[in-house]
Amino acid sequence: MSNDGLYISDPEHRQALLREAAQLPALTVNSAAAANAVMLGAGYFHPLQGYMNVADALRVADELHTADGLFWPVPCLNLCTEPPPVRAGERLALRDPNVAAEPVLAIQQVQAIEQLDAAQLAHIAQQVYGTQDRQHPGVESLLSQGSHAVSGTLEVLNYSYFETEFPDTFRTAPALRAAFRARQWQRVVAFQTRNPMHRAHEELCKMAMRETGADGLLIHMLLGRLKPGDIPAKVRDAAIRKMVELYFPAGRVLIAGYGFDMLYAGPREALLHAVFRQNAGCSHLIIGRDHAGVGNYYMPFAAQEIFDQLPAGTLHIDIVKADHTAWSRRLGKVVMLRDAPDHGPGDFTILSGTEVRNRLAAGQPLPPEFARPEVAEILMRHYQQVGPG
């Protein structure tokens, strides 16, 4: 089976499907289902062929695999508040909620329309997010999408707003594999980010490249929805590109983005990150402290420990386990805390995220130990426009 994704690239086939879609019943999906469609189309969710049914979603939540044994860490669902006007076996045009005029995003061959009861939705939330607390942004998103699960295979017709708004950054999994081949990169370390990269992130990537003997680094940023207060993708993109231009060796870094909404699912999302970096052709993925976390919902290294619980051979990508990093005043460089056992709290420069945002909003420079000045300048311009949030 090809792992090029479910996007229909042949122009004649696409036009035929668009003509068909105009005659089909339509459903405007929610942002989470739209993001799932984009990831299915872009080859990141290979070998999934579409949205899961209830049985598969519950098995994934409980056992990390579908009913037929496919490893998968997070249910891939199309939930809606009301059942769409189709029956099992019919076709449905899925419209994009995130683009003006709601163009057709995909055509779904409907397998089933099932209703999840409140207890099942709460159970999925508990298993995937480790909590049912609606203050958790991922739980709130899941529980607000509706209870009707529309399962079935997809033919994806576009990549929503990601391809048009981020033409220099959005890349599919096959496109990344091709880029690595063109550069003759055999060993590629992926760095996941939803934030701008400060000195600690920069050094973490360089440490991982040295540790793995990597030919190249993929800085792979999320381009979809975030929680309030997170920095917009265009600002992050500009900041990361400036840092790479000035502070990384030429020709060793590829900057790209993927079209997905952040789940904040901690360990489960770390596993999903590994799956789609594996599909993109990466050999290694950096998993840091509180990877994909939010608030205090997860233990600091839970996202690393979950990989140790997988049966051998589940994944074909290696994990680089990273500790928290900070600037060592004693050594004059960024270090992992585990590599500096002789240091005390006063030997590190660590700024909280709130302190960073407040300084930037006030137009105060960040310490050079924390952020490259050129990066801080880009962030400062953003925060002076929007405030600390």
Q: Whole-prediction pTM value?
A: 0.94
Q: DSSP string of 66-113? A: -TT--B-SS----EESS--S--TTSEEEEEPTTSTT--EEEEEEEEEE
Residue where the block lists tokens 């060993």: 187
Work out the pLDDT band at 353, boundaries 50, 70, 90: low
- Average pLDDT value for residue range 197-203: 90
What is the Cα–Cα distance from 188 to 365, expressed in whole angstroms?
Answer: 34
The 10s digit of each residue's pLDDT in 333-349 is: 888 888 899 999 889 88
Q: Taking all residues of the chain, what is their mean pLDDT, rounded to a whole number?
A: 94
CA distances from 160 to 101, 106, 163, 166 (A): 12, 10, 7, 11
Q: Which residues of the chain are in CATH 3.10.400.10 domains?
A: 11-160
Catalytic residue status for 181: no
What is the Cα–Cα distance from 156 to 51, expressed in whole angstroms?
Answer: 12
What is the Cα–Cα distance from 32 to 47, expressed in whole angstroms?
Answer: 19
Q: Sign of torsion, CA 268 273 279 282? A: negative
Tokens for 95, please give them.
């419209």
Q: Which residues of the chain are in CATH 3.40.50.620 domains?
A: 167-386
The pLDDT assigned to 389 comes to: 54
The 3-state DSSP class for residue 377 equals: helix
What is the Cα–Cα distance from 341 to 223, expressed in whole angstroms?
Answer: 37
The pLDDT assigned to 1 comes to: 40
The pLDDT assigned to 388 comes to: 55
- Could you give phi then psi for residue 324, rounded to 5 degrees? -60, 140
Catalytic residue status for 98: no
CATH number for the domain formed by residue range(s) 167-386: 3.40.50.620
Active-site residue, from 14, 91, 187, 194: 194
- Could you give phi then psi for residue 311, rounded to 5 degrees? -60, 150
What is the Cα–Cα distance from 227 to 250, expressed in whole angstroms?
Answer: 33
In this structure, which topology does domain 11-160 adopt according to CATH? Answer: Sulfate adenylyltransferase (3.10.400)
The 10s digit of each residue's pLDDT in 248-286 is: 999 999 999 999 999 999 999 999 999 999 999 999 999
Cis peptide before 83 (omega within 30 of 0): no
Active-site residue, from 3, 187, 195, 252: 195
The 10s digit of each residue's pLDDT in 38-94 is: 999 999 999 999 999 999 999 999 999 999 999 999 999 999 999 999 999 999 999
What is the Cα–Cα distance from 98 to 95, expressed in whole angstroms?
Answer: 9
CB 197 within 8 A of CB 239: yes
